Structure 1
């Protein structure tokens, strides 16, 4: 079974979850069957334990870019602003915005992301006092209230909030939806073809057991990269080319003609 890539938003070996095995049995939904198959292909993990504010920063940097670009930006930010005797949120409140933007430039949209990170730091310090208190809120607070509070930060969307709940808070039943999950779930028929990111999240969280949502998210991302890409899904080469062909509706994909469209545009 392959190791989870260190570039994954879950943080790889640094807070990237604990390998575990969940009870086997007949899945109650097709979505659960898909997640079980992904777990056999990739990994089954329980997530949680990352520090909440750095996790928030890391996920903001990952918006609209690849891990290849965002990870170096995050590493540079930590090297410049974090340390054993510092509080990252407090440090970033006082950081020069232009210098911060320069530091995270590899992640793209660096001026916009520097604003989001600075304002998030200001809100965390103003309301909670420091990163440690914010971390306790994320881990112990009511999940719905935590999610609402995260979403109230300008520039923090559902995927970012859900990643913080999952990877820092260790909350079960949270299935963050990024571009890969959005595409794969609709293409496979696990969510309506015209569902937006929130509707896909709701469909998956309703049909996947609580304890399987976390690794379902990371493994589905990997599957989207390895097999179910946007333009050239593996099934174009025949059902034998995709290990999940028997579980997939192939919405918007026609192996016969080679046509691939967004599931929302499929007739």
Structure 2
């Protein structure tokens, strides 16, 4: 993969237009988790994130819940075509922070007043479309009611204490820890935030970095404790890419030989038996 490249469409929040290449001083990692992230940084990219509009980021991440980018990206495109929002060609409304947030404001107002059936049909490709339509209209109305505007919500996400922001986001119906953390990272630009999706949850338990039976929040606690703050953002996005390319749920690359995986020397392969070619969730491993 070319230096500093990244998939153009990563609905979790990894567009190149709203991230900046970064370099971190090399040296001996203090923890195995940091060593893994350093290896991922060498394999893929080292970046810092921030600058996406908070409401737009919230919408995109809600659409991505329990589905793939392949399914959720068309839903996002159809939503913004019908209701407004990101129209600057890079998937991020007012991404440089210099605009007035009109796109996000229009989107928030449109979603708050959207007809449920019409919205559900628009985002059908994302799956769970009836539930997601309910969540989108509810969070849009709440953002406007509690913060007054999408721009004020964006300022809240960027400027207030991260724990306060996370608590407020988690209090919204349909917003879970991964969604809240993606908003903090990609809109708020907060360091020390390591969102845990299905790839991250699987990989770091399989590696043996987190306990085999750890839930998503327990994995997050381990990573945010053991990975330096400035490395958490690209640790998240690069881990997703590693999960797609090497450490898939059903057929990790190590089944074709340990030399096929660039992380094999750091991995305990919890739940993976390379001799029998069997793979189970780490929590179900002996």
- Do they fold alike, i.e. is TM over 0.5? yes
The alignment's TM-score, normalised by the length of structure 1, stands at 0.97
Match of residue 40 from structure 1: 42
The 2-side partners of 1:10 and 1:93 are apart by 23
Match of 2:256 among 230, 233, 237: 237
Match of residue 96 from structure 2: none
**Superimposed CA distance per residue, residues 175-203 of structure 1 (whole angstroms, 9 cap, x where no aligned partner):** 00000000000000110000000000000
Match of residue 167 from structure 2: 148
Deviation at 1:11, TM superposition (A): 4.2
Match of 1:246 among 260, 265, 269: 265
DSSP 3-state at the match of 1:257: coil
Q: Which moved more, 1:6-15 or 1:169-178?
A: 6-15
The 1-side partners of 2:173 and 2:115 are apart by 19
The 2-side partners of 1:257 and 1:233 are apart by 13
DSSP 3-state at the match of 1:177: coil
Q: Which moved more, 1:129-138 or 1:76-85?
A: 76-85
Cα distance, 1:11–1:38 mapped onto 2, change above 3 Å: closer
Match of residue 99 from structure 2: none
DSSP 3-state at the match of 1:114: helix
Deviation at 1:6, TM superposition (A): 1.4
In the alignment of these two chains, the number of paired residues is 266
Would you say the 8 A contact 2:51–2:187 is kept in 1? Answer: yes
Match of 1:255 among 248, 252, 274: 274
Q: Which moved more, 1:156-165 or 1:1-10?
A: 1-10
Deviation at 1:116, TM superposition (A): 0.4
Q: Give the root-mean-square deviation of aligned CA atoms.
A: 1.1
Match of 2:67 among 50, 65, 76: 65
The 2-side partners of 1:27 and 1:134 are apart by 37
**Superimposed CA distance per residue, residues 78-102 of structure 1 (whole angstroms, 9 cap, x where no aligned partner):** 1111157552212211121211111
Which runs of 5 or more residues in structure 1 are unaligned?
none
Match of residue 15 from structure 2: 12
The alignment's TM-score, normalised by the length of structure 2, stands at 0.91
Which runs of 5 or more residues in structure 2 are unaligned?
88-101
Match of residue 147 from structure 2: 128
Deviation at 1:135, TM superposition (A): 0.1
Match of residue 266 from structure 1: 285
Match of 2:25 among 23, 26, 29: 23
Q: Which runs of 4+ in 1 moved over 4 A?
A: 83-86
Report 1:160-199 matches (<5 A).
160-199=179-218
Match of 2:220 among 167, 190, 201: 201
